[in-house]
Amino acid sequence: MRSLSALNEKVTLLRLLDRLDEAFEIANQALRQARFTGDRQDFVLCRIRRAQVMQFQGKLEDAASELTQCVLESETHEWNLTAAFARETRGKVQFEQDELEGALTDFTAAVFLREKAGASPDELESALIAVAVVESFIGERRTTR
């Protein structure tokens, strides 16, 4: 379980099993390991996964803050797929916070970044669905006002 990929897989599985305290602990282990390897992109990916756990724990402000840093770093280095992952994840947090305009911006950017990286239509699908859902919520909100 010492390999970074094994730790990241365990974080995801524990999160899906709703064992969030364990997932957070393993996410922190993965972060420490990524920091020691010196690969900055792996470090950002670990931070995104940890932020997902924070989101599921209901720590939305902390997750959003962490993801903002991940977006900035990944876009600065032009790691398009990592930036798309960070943006889509932050969009989900913003959606939970009822910040629909921010969520729409992030989901739209995720689509653009994935297209730029040459993603297949299947890989674009989740972000496109997210854009459509948020647009429908925004439309509903406008008609009820």
Give the tens place of pLDDT for each residue, 7-50.
Answer: 999 999 999 999 999 999 999 999 999 999 878 999 999 999 99
Residue extent(s) of CATH 1.20.58 domains in the chain: 79-145
Q: How far is residue 67's CA from residue 90's CA, in Å, rounded to a whole number?
A: 6
Q: Is the pLDDT of residue 1 over 60?
A: no
Q: Could you tell me which residues come within 8 angstroms of residue 124 by beta carbon, excluding any fewer than 6 positions away?
A: 111, 114, 115
Torsion over CA of 56, 58, 63 and 64, rounded to 10 degrees? 120
CATH 1.20.58 fits 79-145, yes or no: yes
Angle between helices 40-56 and 80-96 (to 10 degrees): 20
Q: Provide the whole-model pTM.
A: 0.92
